[in-house]
Structure 1
Amino acid sequence: MSFVDESSGWAGGGTPDEKAFIVQTKDGGRTWRALAAPTAYVTAGDELRFIDAQHGWLRTSVMIASTGGCAVPSTAPSACRSVILHTSDGGGTWQEQLSVDQPSKLGPGLRALTVLDDRHAWAVQLGSSRPSVNSCLPCTPFDAAIGVVATSDGSTWAPVGDLPAFVDGMHFVDAQTGFASVHTAKNEPGTPTNTASIVVTHDGGRTWSTQLSVDGQGPRFSLDFIDTKVGFALRMDVTTCGGSDCWLYGLYRTGDAGQTWSAVLSTPADILSAWWSPRSRLALLGSPTFASATVGWIPVQRDLTQAGFSGGVLITLNGGRSWSRTPAAPDGWDVSGLAARGSSAWVVGRRASDQNSFLSHTGDRGQTWDYSLLMRP
């Protein structure tokens, strides 16, 4: 999902029978119209990035064989390719700009798409770190090369550098400065503990240096910057996720472009001392999205087959110091995507009551939500 202002936005996804769709709104989500799907396969995990009413990019997967879709097999060659598509007419038509193998063990060969303007965009491309192996079809997190590819003319892509560890997300704030969240792979040989780090580049992605690191069994960071100076990082540890329940979350903030990071909220000792409200069992927190230095949102995913787990939407009005569920977003929502502009936010997900997919909008910071579109599975 991507919004360029409080009126114009796009959302995309795929149905269970692998029919792709992209929809567009020009009135803040009150009405939506369907656009021609650019590929045969678009999923909720794809990355859709618009920078104005005309120009946007989509990172998705394209099936190259009828062998069961784009699910990640354990050993067989992938049935899909990872592609980056571009539109210059608001999503009416799409052109392929980059296409790579989808590694069979690691999922999409392209990921972490970040867009600055109509000329500058970056993504991560997985490749083999072994000179004798060109593709990454046999790669594992231990031996994959985590390369950064970029375009500076809005159409042609080229490698620019390598990240130091496996990537979770990337965000550029200008043509030279970008941030990435990375982690060492679980049980990586020679690594006594697993580490999650925030790294920065000041040369367009060619070289990277570490700003913040934390150790743990399975630590991860997800990032969001509201401008060139102010950013937030949500920390989690995947080892605390039992079934559908995760609870070891912390929040960091920087006000000086990452030169220093301070803990806004520390990770709780247990779920009963969690910093979100209400303190019931949560599923998986998504990446934070801040509309300003004070107002931020976090989507909450839940397993619709499990009772007792809470989804919905979290909001902060004080820069992340406290969070609560928006009152009109029920905990039965399984929210997979969120966009925010000003006092408005839009979410996409599924409902526990009937497992229907939906798009919903709030214009009053979560006090009320309006269903914009329902899609039956």
Structure 2
Amino acid sequence: MQYIAFLTPLVVSVLTISGASVAGPVFQSPLVVPATKSALALRGTLNAAGTAGQRLVVAGQRGHILYSDDGATWLQAKVPVSSDLTALYFASASEGWAVGHEGVILHTADGGTTWTKQLDGKQAAELLVKAYGKPANASDPAAQRLRQDAETFAAQGADKPFLDVWFEDTRRGFAVGAFNLILRTEDGGNTWTPWMDRVNNPKGLHMYGIRPAGGSVFIAGEQGLVLKYDRAQQRFVKVDLPYQGTLFGVTGTDRTVVVYGLRGNALRSADGGASWMKIETGVTTGLSSGLVRRDGAIVLASQAGQVLVSTDDGASFRRVPVATAEPTFALADAGNGVLALAGLGGVRVEAPK
């Protein structure tokens, strides 16, 4: 008899052939397996892009992080995990953070050359249990929900991803993710504090993006979720939006906020989120990434590789041609009109006209 039995999650696969058993490889968590150096990493799926000063940095599947100082030659960073990475952000030319699956938060102090793990999903769940496991008012429905969420996170292990990260300086930042997961640090990520009780997100919707815009900080997520940071209350409050579809991100200038998501939908606010107008993007595929270029133009990219540019604070966008329209998941500004477009086929550096 021939069969293969796979025993999960952390056990040995056994292959039995003609009565003989041969032990297969022991499964190891991506949290303890460093990212493998590979010549193919640059052509793999890349979900995140950013700049460390003049350096371009991209990140994606299997913990792969790569960096380039000229946009042509790329080197692979040393990363202590092989978890899929979803987002990265640099607060300075040297200090940056990357987040992803298994609840990982990574930090670099050398512009993306080497990375260390600051947190993982198991540690994050422990923080939630400590913060919400014994509520002061156990009869409060909100407190009960937070306790249940914390217990669920702990029981299910390190399986909740962070989906975005943003720092206002090298000390203070947020990491946001699935099921209302949000952590705050005020010491550069050495310690993290759960902020799930400070977010007006009672349905526990996923939070896909966090960025400053319109004079504040906004979070965008599923089912039209938009939250605005109220510094006086030290919490994120819900913003009413005339759209209930999923939003993948937020960007904007000091004057305007632009949120974008499914089926080419994007909305703009010029009054700090008090009112919103639909933007005619001219595309019907999901808008997956956005940024403000150094010259003040707002750029959006779609999952089909379309690139849109606005030079009037997001009031209107025009589609600009690219050399290769491949699925794009993240953008980075290389200066002088040059963009790094990261996505399904790796990273492309070009200057859309």
Q: In which range does the TM-score fall when normalised by the shorter chain?
A: 0.5 to 0.7
Letter in 2 for 1:116: E
Q: Distance in 2 between matches of 1:334 and 1:125?
A: 22
Alignment match, 2:193: 158
Call closer, same or farther: CA 1:99–1:296 in 2, change over 3 Å. Answer: same
Encode CA deviations 1:246-273: one digit per residue, 9 max, x unaligned: 35x232132x443x3341525xxxxxxx
> Does structure 1 retain, via aligned residues, the 8 Å contact 2:177–2:208?
no
**Residue among 208, 215, 221 paired with 1:169:** 208
**Residue among 212, 231, 246 paired with 1:203:** 231
Q: Which runs of 5+ in 1 are unaligned?
A: 62-80, 127-143, 185-195, 237-245, 267-274, 303-310, 351-356, 368-377
Letter in 1 for 2:66: V
**Residue among 281, 284, 287 paired with 1:285:** 287
User: Shift in Å at residue 13 of structure 1?
Assistant: 2.2
Call closer, same or farther: CA 1:183–1:300 in 2, change over 3 Å. Answer: closer
Number of positions where the alignment pairs a residue of Structure 1 with one of Structure 2: 267
Structure 2 residue 307 is matched with structure 1 residue 358: no
Q: Distance in 1 between matches of 2:157 and 2:192?
A: 25
Q: Distance in 1 between matches of 2:199 and 2:110?
A: 33
> Does structure 2 retain, via aligned residues, the 8 Å contact 1:224–1:231?
yes
Q: C-alpha root-mean-square deviation of aligned residues, in Å?
A: 3.2
Q: Distance in 2 between matches of 1:198 and 1:162?
A: 14
% identity of equivalent residues:
21
Structure 2 residue 108 is matched with structure 1 residue 26: no
> Does structure 2 retain, via aligned residues, the 8 Å contact 1:293–1:319?
no
Letter in 2 for 1:296: I
**Residue among 50, 53, 62 paired with 1:2:** 50
Call closer, same or farther: CA 1:53–1:97 in 2, change over 3 Å. Answer: same
Letter in 1 for 2:253: I
**Residue among 111, 114, 121 paired with 1:93:** 114
- Normalised by the length of structure 2, the TM-score is 0.65
Letter in 1 for 2:75: R
User: Shift in Å at residue 125 of structure 1?
Assistant: 5.7
Letter in 2 for 1:265: I
> Does structure 1 retain, via aligned residues, the 8 Å contact 2:288–2:301?
yes
SS at match of 1:119: coil
Encode CA deviations 1:321-343: one digit per residue, 9 max, x unaligned: 44333223344x11121122552
Call closer, same or farther: CA 1:322–1:173 in 2, change over 3 Å. Answer: closer
Letter in 2 for 1:152: E
Q: Distance in 1 between matches of 2:80 and 2:118?
A: 13
SS at match of 2:277: strand
Q: Distance in 1 between matches of 2:173 and 2:162?
A: 13
Q: Distance in 2 between matches of 1:198 and 1:115?
A: 19
Q: Distance in 2 between matches of 1:48 and 1:298?
A: 17
Q: Which runs of 5+ in 2 are unaligned?
A: 1-48, 126-152
Alignment match, 1:253: 269
Q: Distance in 2 between matches of 1:285 and 1:113?
A: 19
Call closer, same or farther: CA 1:287–1:204 in 2, change over 3 Å. Answer: farther
User: Shift in Å at residue 294 of structure 1?
Assistant: 5.4
Query: Which has the higher Rg, Structure 1 or Structure 2?
Result: 2
Give 1:100-249 correspondences, 5 Å limit: 100-101=121-122, 108-124=160-176, 144=179, 146-154=180-188, 155-160=190-195, 161-165=197-201, 166-171=205-210, 173=212, 177-183=216-222, 196-203=224-231, 206-216=234-244, 218-220=245-247, 222-227=249-254, 229-234=255-260, 236=262, 246=263, 249=265
Encode CA deviations 1:77-113: one digit per residue, 9 max, x unaligned: xxxx211111112223322222224966996343332
Structure 2 residue 76 is matched with structure 1 residue 53: no
- Highest RCO, 1 vs 2 (Cα 8 Å, sep ≥ 6): 2
Call closer, same or farther: CA 1:4–1:208 in 2, change over 3 Å. Answer: same
User: Shift in Å at residue 224 of structure 1?
Assistant: 0.9
Alignment match, 1:263: 277
Q: Distance in 2 between matches of 1:56 and 1:113?
A: 10
Call closer, same or farther: CA 1:329–1:298 in 2, change over 3 Å. Answer: farther
Encode CA deviations 1:304-326: one digit per residue, 9 max, x unaligned: xxxxxxx3322233333443332
